[in-house]
Amino acid sequence: MVLLRHLFGDALRRRRQHQGRTLREVAGTARISLGYLSEVERGHKEVSSELLMAICTALDLRMSEVMREVSDELARWEATDSALEPIEATYPLAGDRAATNVAA
Amino acid sequence: MVLLRHLFGDALRRRRQHQGRTLREVAGTARISLGYLSEVERGHKEVSSELLMAICTALDLRMSEVMREVSDELARWEATDSALEPIEATYPLAGDRAATNVAA
């Protein structure tokens, strides 16, 4: 299953690597620890509004670009499978919707 | 200044009110506390990936819809003023960009 923080992490890592920059350099510019940035990129830690802003600024990105990228990626997941079901499957609607997509 | 969690909170509250539903009802369906949902809607608390998913499911929304709405709103802020500057103004680029927009 995919979680929002995984998609944020992937998007940030993709942008950083595309710029040919190291974790250390971006973390330094954003004034956050290298370990924290690494955890965020791997989708292990939720990123707060302030820290996402700091990371985007360090990467010279608009936050809305990153949000749009994540939203598009999410939409693809939602359209193609049931990977967005909650961890505890207490919401049968999510599964039903996915099943409907598969049948369509 | 506007923060991502404010935009998420506004978007979630707007959708809930549009559906004519109470905080209590949605919190119950999402299996979160009423107080927590209220804090999220007011932009006082960051929402984790799992809880955002639970709230969206309770509101019968796709997360990507909410993300897209927040991303569009962010883009409007970014285009029109300097409200997205970090709290500690350690990133002169953000201010410069806003100043450029005003001058343009």
SS3 per-residue string spanning B34-47: HHHHHHHHCCCCCC
Question: Under a CB-based contact definition with an 8 Å cutoff, are residues B24 and B34 in contact?
Answer: yes
Instruction: Determine the pLDDT at residue A95.
Output: 39
Number of H helices, E strands in chain B: 6, 0
Instruction: Determine the pLDDT at residue B80.
Output: 85
Q: Do B64 and A72 touch (CB under 8 A)?
A: yes
ipTM score assigned to the predicted complex: 0.72
Residues A50, A56: Cα–Cα separation, whole Å? 10
Residues A64, B1: Cα–Cα separation, whole Å? 15
For each of chain B's 104 residues, which pLDDT tens digit applies? 678 999 999 999 999 999 999 999 999 999 999 999 999 999 999 999 999 999 999 999 999 999 999 999 999 998 886 555 544 433 333 434 433 333 33
Instruction: Determine the pLDDT at residue A2.
Output: 76
Burial of residue A16, with CB atoms counted within 10 A of its CB: 0-12 exposed, 13-18 middle, 19 or more buried: buried
Chain A: give the shortest CA distance to residue B40, in Å: 13
Instruction: Determine the pLDDT at residue B2.
Output: 76
Q: Do A4 and B53 touch (CB under 8 A)?
A: yes
Tokens 């005003």 appear where? B102
Residues A67, A79: Cα–Cα separation, whole Å? 18
Instruction: Determine the pLDDT at residue A81.
Output: 63
Is B71 at the interface with chain A, CB within 8 A?
yes
Segments in chain A below pLDDT 70: 1, 81-104
